[in-house]
C-alpha cells in the first residue's frame, strides 16, 4: 500500500511537509497548487512553492515532493511542467479537483471535469513536454455537479499517458461535506488500469481500512486527517504507537522554530540548513500559519482546545511557545525557560 500526503493550499507548505514527513512515513507528498495562466513562471516561483527542488525534490526526511500545476491552457501547462521537471521535480501532478470559485471562474480545477477533452489535451501536452522518466499524475473529483462524466474523465487521463490518478471521492458540488463516496472509486477502478489512489474522509485506521475495501484501491492519499493526527499514517501502516500530547508539543515547537528562524537573526543559519530559498515568514505570518494547524489539531487532540483558546489573540512567537510548553506539563515548561 502506498500512502501520499495530500496537497492543501494554505496548509501543507514547505514547513508542514517537513514536519509531517518526519513524523510519519509517506511515499510522497504534493505541493500546494501552482496556478498557471498563459505564461512561463520564473524558476524563483517554483523554488518558492517547492524549496525541496534544491534538495533533490525531497523533504528532509527523504520523501519525494510532487509538483502540482493547475490551469486550463495545455501549452502553458506543458511549458511550466517542463521547467519544473528541469528544476528537479520528481513527478508533475495536475489538479482537476479544486472547487474554489475564483479558480473555477478562470477555468481551473474541478470546472474542467465538464470538459474531458480539455482534460485529455492538458495531460497529453504535459506528458509530451516532460522527459519520459518523469511521471505525470492527475488528481480529480468525481465531477462538477454529478458523476455522469467521471469515467470519461478517468479514461481521458489514462489515455493521455498519466501514470497515476488520485480521486477525491466527491463532486465539486459536494464541496467537503461528508461522506466521501468511496463506492464511486470502485466504478473507476473497473474502468481504468492505471494505479488509482483513493482520497477523502480518512481520519482513522478504520476509515483507511473501509476506504480501501469499498474503493478497491490499494493506495490512499490523506489530507486533513494527516494534519489533525500526524501519527495516523504510522497507525495505518501498523508500525507506530499513538502520539502523546507532550510529543505533539515537541513537534509543534520544532515547526515554530523552523518558521520562526526565518525572521530571527540568531537562527537564520538554521533556516538555511532546512532548505535554501524556503519562504520567509514574518512573525505574525508564522503565528497565523501555526494557529491554522492548531485549530485543526483540536479534532485529533482535546488538549489542543485550551491552547488554541489562549493563543487565539497572540501575535508573538515567544508568547505562543510559552503557552504551548506549559500545556505539555512541567518538564517541557522547564526546558523552555
Ligand atoms: C485547505 C485545503 C486546501 C486544499 N488545497 C488543495 C490543493 O492545492 N491541491 C489539490 O489537489 N487539492 C487540495 N485540497 C484537497 C485535498 O488535497 C484533499 O483532496 C481533500 O482535502 C480530501 O481529502 P481529506 O478528506 O483527506 O482531507 C485542499 C483541501 C483543503 C482542506
Q: Whose CA is nearest to atom 5 of ligand 1?
A: 8
DSSP-based helix, strand, coil % in the chain, nearest 5: 50, 10, 35
- Provide the 8-state DSSP code for 88: T
| pLDDT of 52 strictly over 90 | yes
Cell of 69: 500545476
The answer to whether 196 touches 167, Cβ cutoff 8 Å, is yes
24-39 pLDDT per residue, tens: 999 999 999 999 999 9
Ligand 1 center–CA 265 separation, angstroms: 34
Ligand 1 center–CA 56 separation, angstroms: 25
323-336 pLDDT per residue, tens: 999 999 876 655 55
Q: How many CB atoms lie within 10 A of CB 79?
A: 19
Q: What percent of the chain has pLDDT over 90?
A: 87
Give SS3 for 117: helix
Q: Whose CA is nearest to atom 2 of ligand 1?
A: 8
Which of 3, 4, 6, when mutated, tests ligand 1's pocket best, judged by the most ligand atoms within 8 Å of its CB?
6
Distance of alpha carbon 218 from the chain centroid: 19
Note if 98 is an active site residue.
yes
Report CA dihedral (260, 16, 7, 165) to the nearest 10 degrees. 150
What per-residue confidence (pLDDT) applies to 278?
65
CA distance 271 to 278: 8
| pLDDT of 275 strictly over 90 | no
| pLDDT of 227 strictly over 90 | yes
Give SS3 for 16: helix
- Identify the band that residue 263 occupies on the pLDDT scale cut at 50, 70 and 90: very low
Ligand 1 center–CA 12 separation, angstroms: 9
Cell of 29: 507528498
Q: Whose CA is nearest to atom 10 of ligand 1?
A: 7
Which of 168, 208, 221, 291, when mutated, tests ligand 1's pocket best, judged by the most ligand atoms within 8 Å of its CB?
168
Please state whether the peptide bond connecting residue 179 to the residue before it is cis, i.e. omega within 30 degrees of 0.
yes
What per-residue confidence (pLDDT) applies to 261?
62
What per-residue confidence (pLDDT) applies to 266?
36
The answer to whether 112 touches 106, Cβ cutoff 8 Å, is no
Strands 136-141 and 92-96, by their bridges, are parallel
The b-or-e profile of 242-271 (16+ CB within 10 A means b, else e) is: ebebeebbbbbbebbbbbbbbbeeeeeeeb
The answer to whether the Cα torsion of 104, 107, 113, 119 is positive or negative is negative
Residues touching ligand 1 (Cβ under 6 Å) are 6-11, 32-33, 68, 95, 97-98, 139, 168, 199-202, 222-225
What per-residue confidence (pLDDT) applies to 216?
98
108-139 pLDDT per residue, tens: 999 999 999 999 999 999 999 999 999 999 99
List of E strands, 145-303: 164-168, 196-199, 219-222
| pLDDT of 40 strictly over 90 | yes
What per-residue confidence (pLDDT) applies to 90?
98
CA distance 116 to 118: 5
Q: Where in the chain is the domain with CATH 3.20.20.70?
A: 3-237
CATH superfamily of 3-237: Aldolase class I (3.20.20.70)
Q: What percent of the chain has pLDDT over 70?
A: 92
Ligand 1 center–CA 8 separation, angstroms: 5
- State the pTM of this model: 0.94
Amino acid at each position: 500500500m502506498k500512502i501520499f500526503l495530500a496537497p492543501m493550499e494554505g496548509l501543507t507548505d514547505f514547513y508542514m511537509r517537513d514536519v509531517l514527513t518526519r513524523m510519519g512515513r509517506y511515499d510522497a507528498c504534493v505541493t500546494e497548487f501552482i496556478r498557471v495562466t498563459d505564461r512561463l513562471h520564473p524558476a524563483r516561483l517554483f523554488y518558492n512553492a517547492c524549496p525541496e527542488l534544491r534538495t533533490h525534490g525531497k523533504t528532509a526526511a527523504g520523501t519525494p515532493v510532487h509538483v502540482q500545476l493547475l490551469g486550463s491552457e495545455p501549452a502553458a501547462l506543458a511549458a511550466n511542467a517542463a521547467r519544473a521537471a528541469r528544476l528537479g521535480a520528481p513527478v508533475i501532478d495536475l489538479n482537476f479537483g479544486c472547487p474554489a470559485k475564483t479558480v473555477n471562474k478562470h477555468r481551473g480545477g474541478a470546472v474542467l471535469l465538464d470538459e474531458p477533452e480539455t482534460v485529455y489535451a492538458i495531460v497529453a501536452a504535459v506528458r509530451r513536454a516532460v522527459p519520459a522518466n518523469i511521471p505525470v499524475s492527475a488528481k480529480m473529483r468525481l465531477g462538477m455537479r454529478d458523476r455522469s462524466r467521471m469515467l470519461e474523465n478517468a479514461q481521458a487521463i489514462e489515455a493521455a499517458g498519466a501514470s497515476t490518478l488520485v480521486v477525491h471521492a466527491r463532486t465539486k458540488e459536494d464541496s467537503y461535506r461528508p461522506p466521501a463516496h468511496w463506492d464511486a472509486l470502485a466504478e473507476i477502478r473497473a474502468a481504468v488500469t492505471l494505479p488509482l489512489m483513493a482520497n477523502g474522509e480518512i481520519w482513522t485506521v478504520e476509515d483507511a481500512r473501509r476506504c480501501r475495501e469499498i474503493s478497491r484501491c490499494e493506495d490512499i492519499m490523506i489530507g486533513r486527517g494527516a494534519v489533525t493526527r500526524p501519527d495516523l499514517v504510522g497507525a495505518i501502516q501498523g508500525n507506530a504507537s499513538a502520539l502523546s500530547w507532550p510529543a505533539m508539543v515537541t513537534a509543534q515547537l520544532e515547526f515554530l522554530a523552523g518558521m520562526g528562524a526565518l525572521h530571527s537573526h540568531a537562527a537564520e543559519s538554521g533556516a538555511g540548513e532546512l532548505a535554501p530559498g524556503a519562504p520567509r515568514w514574518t512573525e505574525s505570518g508564522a503565528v497565523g500559519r501555526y494557529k491554522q494547524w492548531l485549530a485543526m489539531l483540536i479534532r485529533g487532540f482535546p488538549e489542543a482546545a485550551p491552547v488554541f483558546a489562549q493563543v487565539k489573540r497572540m501575535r508573538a512567537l515567544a508568547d505562543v511557545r510559552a503557552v504551548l510548553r506549559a500545556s505539555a506539563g512541567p518538564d517541557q515548561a522547564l526546558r523552555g525557560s
